[in-house]
Amino acid sequence: MTGKLVRDRIAEIMKESGKIPITRIASAEEYKQALKDKLLEEVREYMASGKLEEIADIMEVIQCLIRVEGSDLETVEKIRKDKAGKRGGFEKGIILEGIGK
């Protein structure tokens, strides 16, 4: 992949500002990889800025990944709740420093 995945209206917005975007539609395989790459990009941006806007971007990418995987948010939420029920969440901020003998 040589380009970068962008939001659906970016090309339109660029045209409105007088720019000429060169775009194409990704294949299914390329789209899935582009979403994974975008997820890393958005996580890095959040790590650098700490802004809620970046968390919103992360959630947008995750929702697209869920659809690409042929699932839905409700199914993923059920998996999350089941896992949290069995292993707990991350609410208490517990840091594992090691494992004693």
The per-residue pLDDT for range 73-86, each reduced to its tens digit, is 999 999 999 999 99
6 three-class SS: coil
User: Residue 46: CB partners within 8 Å, gap ≥ 6?
Assistant: 54, 55, 57, 58
User: 4-34, pLDDT tens digit by residue?
Assistant: 999 999 999 999 999 999 999 999 999 999 9
Only one residue has tokens 């939420």, namely 77
Q: Phi-psi bin for 22: left (phi > 0), alpha (psi -120 to 50), beta?
A: beta
Q: Global pTM?
A: 0.89
CB distance 66 to 73 below 8 Å: yes
Give pLDDT, residue 68: 98
Tally of CB atoms within 10 A around 24: 8
Domain chopping of the chain, boundaries? 26-85
